[in-house]
Amino acid sequence: MGLSGVLPAAKSLKDFEKLLEFECEYIILLEVRVSQLKNVVRYAKRANKKVIIHVDLVQGLKNDEYATEFICQEIKPYGVISTRTSVITTAKKHNIVAVQRLFLLDSNAINHNVRLIEKSQPDYVEVLPGIIPHMIEELKDRLDIPLIAGGLLRTEADVTRALDAGAVAITSSDRELWNY
């Protein structure tokens, strides 16, 4: 079974602790210090949670292939999220689930990122902001990679629209949406 539904994102240790007791399989780790990574992932595994680390937001760690190699070999999360193709490629070499983040800035940026994604072949693509259903549909048609919607999803209706447009999951740090 792959990623699906609402993927709760912890933006603080307080959120993380709440998610350890929450009924979810996955936890997305946002802003965490490099010194906390090993223990945080260990606690999550003890609680039968699969952690996906947003590599670009780890404080004290450069988001490059060497940092990803360290994370894959020493921290051993379920997966990583990054905007960087080198991070995605390194994660895939280490058999870690790779989620490439794509920002919907303008047509040129989207086209450029689609070309990069076609080369790196991540396991998932996270589309931000996730509140634009027609862009989720368009990217679903252009890429043969499951899409995750994230960013600016504030209501259950937003979640439903993103999933109906073709996203397999949504990410959210909004505790109100974790139960959806």
Average pLDDT, the chain: 96
Please report the sign of the dihedral spanned by the C-alpha atoms of residue 180, residue 144, residue 63, residue 36: positive
User: What is the model's pLDDT at position 180?
Assistant: 87
Is the pTM higher than 0.85? The answer reads yes
Give residue 1's pLDDT band: very low, low, confident or very high (50, 70, 90): low
Rounded to an integer, the average pLDDT of 64-68 is: 95
Task: Say yes or no to pLDDT of 38 above 70.
Answer: yes
Q: How far apart are CA 18 and CA 39, in angstroms?
A: 16
Whether the Cβ atoms of residue 165 and residue 133 lie closer than 8 Å to each other: yes
| Mean pLDDT value across residues 44-50 | 98
**Can you tell me the mean pLDDT for 66-73?**
97
pLDDT single digits (tens) 117-152: 999 999 999 999 999 999 999 999 999 999 999 999
Q: Which domains does the chain have, with CATH numbers?
A: 5-177 (3.20.20.70)
